[in-house]
Structure 1
Amino acid sequence: IRFLFTCKSWMDLIGSSSFVSTHLHRNVTKHAHVSLLCLHHQSFECQVDPDDPYVGQELQWSLFCDETFVLCSKLSHPLGSTEQYYGIYGSSNGLVCISDEILNFDSPIYIWNPSVRKLRTPPLSTNINIKFSHVALQFGFHPGVNDYKVVRMLCVHKDNAFAVEVYSLSTDSWKMVEEHPLWLKCTWQNHRGTFYNGVAYHIIEKFPLFSIMSFDSGSEKFKEFIAPDAISCWSRLYIEVYKDQICLLYYLRLFHCEEEGMSQIEFWVLQEKRW
């Protein structure tokens, strides 16, 4: 909010941290100014062939109204047309975390506010000095510590090396998490993930079992939740947030029905550490 002139009492009110927190809380609880962030083909009616190697060059990130699904605005990379293709790894309160489509341990990370066209570039981490085979990146707001966090997980499958780094927007610095639970010190594969209320969730496969690993970016604590026994294939498994709860969506194989291309989905909700 900007004013040319205002009284001292208003200035104190607007400038206080409690005013900012209250305003953000009001927007979140009332779902004010909520938009859908979607990756789509530039031609909405185009039939996309997933096997086409050039289809990715025609995809576009855009914001849509969450009620009418009307296109609000198209998002271009803040650094210009030379950085047209990028991945989005989380959004919260109007901030978007972007980086390379294919992540490496030294991929640049940007925290971007498209509305006001401002960009924050976290410093390069000094903790990583080897090349990891898998990099997972997530971003969001942690209400418990009133801070925005970037969580980067890196692993080398062949020797079970594992590392977690947390970036704090308030301090503009990275921190390496040193302590890992024993159940993570094994051969496992990291798959899809999501971020909610400051906690990063990942689907991990410890053959033949599937688990959900959670990492609280504030307390830096790990937890494990064993996935339902019915889940047997990670490629059809997704983890999302629905009505403030962590959910698993498991796509079953196509079944016979009148409408071609329809599939059945099992929906699992995490409640009190159980599905």
Structure 2
Amino acid sequence: MCIESTSTLFLWNPSTRKSKKLPSPNLPPAHVGLYGFGLGYDASIDDYKVVLMLKDWRSIGIALEVKIYTLRTDSWRRIGDFPHGRPYYRLRPGVFFNGALPIRPGVYFNGALHWKSDTSGLIVSLDLAKETYGEFLKPEYQDG
């Protein structure tokens, strides 16, 4: 599990009851407007990765910066910005990290994290081994 507390991130394994404080991803203080996390496993290197997405309100455009933390190297690095605007987010009172609004966490499936795009009719995936984005249309469904 990836747990956030104020501006500190932790990985926690509930089965072993062990936790690890992650190094700072060097967030711009008090200027992040949106943020989101995802946790997944990269089988190609037998390691876990945390994906952090953030949007600085001072920057122009709607692109979200994306950083990846790798457990084995204990470090963050930046990859390409999130395509198609931003992932879906919902305003929830009192839920903030570093003064920012949360994006729904990525859903891990088949080696990739997945997010519903807020600005297009797509599901955007991030392959954790290749660290590349993919996309596909949301399935059609009827309410009720």
Q: TM-score range by the shorter chain?
A: 0.7 to 0.9
| Equivalent residue, structure 2, for 1:205 | 118
Determine the C-alpha separation between the residues in 2 that align with 1:132 and 1:251. Answer: 36
1:146 and 2:59 equivalent? no
The corresponding residue for 2:2 is 97
Which residue, 44, 50, 69 being the options, matches 1:167? Answer: 69
Which runs of 5 or more structure 1 residues have no equivalent in the other structure?
A: 1-95, 101-105, 231-249, 253-263, 265-275
Match of residue 28 from structure 2:
129
**Which whole-Å CA distance do the structure 2 matches of 1:123 and 1:165 have between them?**
12
Q: What letter matches 1:205 in structure 2?
A: D
Q: What is aligned with 1:222? A: 133
Q: Could you tell me how far 1:200 is from its partner in structure 2?
A: 1.2
Which amino acid is 1:166 matched to? Answer: I
| TM superposition shift of 1:149 | 0.6
Percent identical among aligned pairs is 30
- Equivalent-residue separation in structure 1 for 2:114 and 2:38 (angstroms): 9
The count of corresponding residues between Structure 1 and Structure 2 is 125
**What is the deviation of 1:198?**
3.5
Which residue is equivalent to 1:190?
87
Q: Is the 8 A contact 1:180 1:222 kept in 2?
A: no
RMSD: 2.5
Contact between 2:64 and 2:86, CA under 8 Å: does it hold in 1? Answer: no
Amino acid at match of 1:115: S
Whether the 8 Å contact between 2:111 and 2:128 is mirrored in structure 1 is yes
Any conservation in 1 of the 2:40–2:128 contact (CA below 8 Å)? no
Asked whether the equivalents of residues 142 and 197 of structure 1 are also in contact (C-alpha less than 8 Å), the reply is no
Find the aligned partners of 2:123 and 2:7 in 1 and give their Cα distance. 26
Q: Residues 52-95 of structure 1, C-alpha deviation per residue, up to 9 Å, x if partnerless?
A: xxxxxxxxxxxxxxxxxxxxxxxxxxxxxxxxxxxxxxxxxxxx
- Please state whether the residue corresponding to 1:152 is helix, strand or coil: strand
Structure that is richer in helix per residue = 1
1:144–1:218: 8 Å Cα contact kept in structure 2? yes
Give the deviation of 1:113 after TM superposition: 2.2
Q: How far has the Cα of 1:146 moved from its partner?
A: 0.8
Q: Tell me the distance in 2 between the aligned counterparts of 1:137 and 1:180.
A: 14
Question: CA separation in 2, counterparts of 1:151 and 1:136?
Answer: 8
Relative to structure 1, is the Cα distance of residues 142 and 162 closer, same or farther in structure 2, using a 3 angstrom cutoff? Answer: same
Deviation at 1:156, TM superposition (A): 4.9
Structure whose residues are more often strand by fraction: 2
Distance 1:118 1:227 in 2: 37
Point out the structure with max Rg over C-alpha.
Answer: 1
2:20 corresponding residue in structure 1: 120
